[in-house]
Structure 1
Amino acid sequence: MSRIYDGWERLVGAVLRREEDRQLALCESFSSSSTSRFSFSFSFSFSFSFSFNPFVRNFRNDCRNSGERRDPADLSSLETLFFRNVMAIEYEELKKATKNFHRAKLLGERAFSRVYKGWIHENYLTATKPGYGISVAIKKMYSESCEGNREVLDEIHYLSELRHPNLIKLIGYSFNADDRILVYEFMCKGSLDNHLFRRGHNSLNWETRVKVAIGAARAIAFLHDLAVPVIHRDIKSSYILLDVDFNAKLSGFGLARDGPTGDRTHLSTRVTGTYGYAAPEYMTTGHSTTRCDVYSFGAVLLELMTGLRVFDSKRPVGKRDLVNWAKPYLSNEKKLSRIVDCGLEGKYPPKEAYEVAKICMQCLNVEPRLRPKMSEVVGVLESL
């Protein structure tokens, strides 16, 4: 059992070190500039220094000396650190909201978790009948997954502090001895991936596709323009969620990391993410920058244009890698119609489609420094 707690301590220590770097960079940023689109509360750093360090020191000793299985989420210091902007929700209430996590409530499965739909009271956060209160998406991590624990910490680290209309909202959490659960706002239209590639969904019209692209681009631009930029590292169509009006919200912060600051030009990390969306330089070197996210967005934009997955082993060999196959058509206005999603049935403005193709080409440039900033991408898309 001590191995589990050792793992949590290492994860928490890593987050602590990352937050200290963030606060140092923020101090440098504020000393040189009086304005910023977003900043973390400085009281947050004090909660790290004074509230969390005793927990890190004593947690392992308490567990080993007592022999008890203690849950880190039961400690107020952990809640003070991570959960200032989200609410604790009773585990039993989430069981009721999902009928004991019944398969009929299942929305989807990922590598380290399952996501269920439930209904809770907006103010009391207790289970309610369907149609009453607010609908939520309840992500239950696999209890045996260490990777899932790391994902939980990173999700909370960013989503408890970051607020933007195009970022998914984290509502609450529930921790007990066996389970790590996060509760998000429910996005009734599901993921962009479902609308583009799953049977049973009506094809998105051109205007809606542009709207989704603008929403996703705004979210990424917001992350990149922070005083300490955030690199999402796993931008893909399945992490772009849609509400009733097809407004896009970016989710999936389990792999997010703070970007390089000061004299650093890149962040060196273990290569993760999803093949096809990941930038080529990141795949070969592990060096991550905000321009890697730009490439990933370009891949999503190409999926929006073509209605095809960025990589599909079931396609003919020459067409499996969508980026390599589509690039010659993107740069030729006369040939562009050959790769535009046939589900649109020709109902799109050719001139506008070519403008989207050009910005898509720029995002997918193999040379990172030649890719545009996401704020520039937003400007182009909004001008259409």
Structure 2
Amino acid sequence: MTRAYDNWGRLVGATLKREELRRVAREDSLSSSFASDFDLSFRLNESALNFQDMGMSFMEKEIIEATGNFSKKNLIEHNVSGFLFRGILNFREVKKSGHGSIPVVIKIIDLRLVNEEAYKSELEGISKLSLSKPGPLLGHCWENETVKFIVYSLSLLDWNERMKIAIRVAKGLEYLHHCNPPLVHG
């Protein structure tokens, strides 16, 4: 039994070290502005896409302001399809309605890292798939040639919802720890 826990400890230690190295690599590769130094080898034919389901059109300066110039403290996630940042968006329509500002999640798609077909298919499916989105779609920004922005409303969870999620996760972990045969998870 002790040997199993010793192996478990080494596995956890190696996993934590790997995640720390990934975090450091992401921070080092994250530039202060995504709008500079990008070279696009293809011209995306955006006129073929249906933008009626893409919400409002935002200006790039609104996106930059909302994310604090893409501050590392606002970075939520970086994966193969782009970056996710949290922010507070102050835009015209919100100011007119009297709300002032709203919390948002902004997905940044770097077209030099994502091929044209993957980008098109993400845009076409964005209004149809609710499970893969961080929240309700607010709009987009296509001003920049090489970097595109998709803006979602940040869905904040109340404490009851958070507690329900935590309990479900705990039950899932309990199952993984006590099932036979045992499962390795990360």
| Interval of TM-score (by shorter of Structure 1 and Structure 2) | 0.5 to 0.7
- Structure 2 distance, partners of 1:150, 1:309, is 40
Contact persistence 1:82–1:160 (CA under 8 A): no
1:95 is the counterpart of 2:133: no
Q: Aligned to 2:151, which of 180, 183, 188?
A: 183
The yes-or-no answer on 1:4 pairing with 2:42 is yes
Read off the aligned partner of 2:145 and give its amino acid letter. Answer: A
Q: 1:172: which partner in 2?
A: 139
Are 1:155 and 2:19 counterparts? no
**TM-score after normalising by structure 1:** 0.29
Gaps of 5+ in 1: 9-71, 190-203, 213-300, 311-316, 323-384
- Alignment deviations for residues 73-115 of structure 1 (CA, whole Å, 9 cap, x no partner): 5xxx34xx42103111111110111121111221222223111
1:100 maps to a residue whose letter is: N
Does the 8 Å CA contact 1:84/1:160 hold for their aligned counterparts? no
Q: Normalized against structure 2, the TM-score is what?
A: 0.54
Counting aligned pairs with the same residue, the percent is: 17
- Quote how far apart the aligned CAs of 1:120 are: 2.0
**Which structure: larger Rg?**
1
Q: Which residue of 1 aligns with 2:105?
A: 137
Residue 136 of structure 2 contacts residue 154 of structure 2 at CA under 8 Å; is this kept in 1? no
In the TM superposition, what are the counterparts of 1:14-93 in structure 2 within 5 Å? 72-73=45-46, 77-78=47-48, 81-85=49-53, 86-93=55-62
Q: CA RMSD in A?
A: 4.2
Provide the rounded CA distance (Å) in 2 between the counterparts of 1:308 and 1:111: 31
Change (3 A) 1:160 1:112: closer
Shift of 1:308: 6.6
CA deviations on 1:325-346 (whole Å, 9 max, x unpaired) are xxxxxxxxxxxxxxxxxxxxxx
Which structure would you say has the larger RCO, counting Cα contacts within 8 Å and 6 or more residues apart?
A: 2
CA separation in 1, counterparts of 2:114 and 2:145? 14
Deviation for aligned residue 1:318: 4.2
How many Å separate the matches in 1 of 2:130 and 2:109? Answer: 23
Counterpart of 2:74?
A: 105
List, as ranges, runs of 4+ consecutive aligned residues in structure 1 with deviation greater than 6 Å: none
CA distance in 2 between counterparts of 1:112 and 1:320 reads 27
Q: Which amino acid aligns with 2:81?
A: F
User: Which protein has the bigger strand share?
Assistant: 2
Shift of 1:209: 4.3
| 1:144 to 1:121, Cα distance in 2 relative to 1, 3 A | same
In the alignment, is residue 119 of structure 1 matched against residue 157 of structure 2? Answer: no
Post-superposition offset of 1:185? 1.2
For these two proteins, the number of residue pairs brought into alignment is 137
Give the 3 Å change call, closer, same or farther, for CA 178–3 of structure 1 in structure 2.
Answer: closer
**Structure-2 separation of matches of 1:167 and 1:101:** 18
Question: CA contact under 8 A between 2:40 and 2:112: conserved in structure 1?
Answer: no
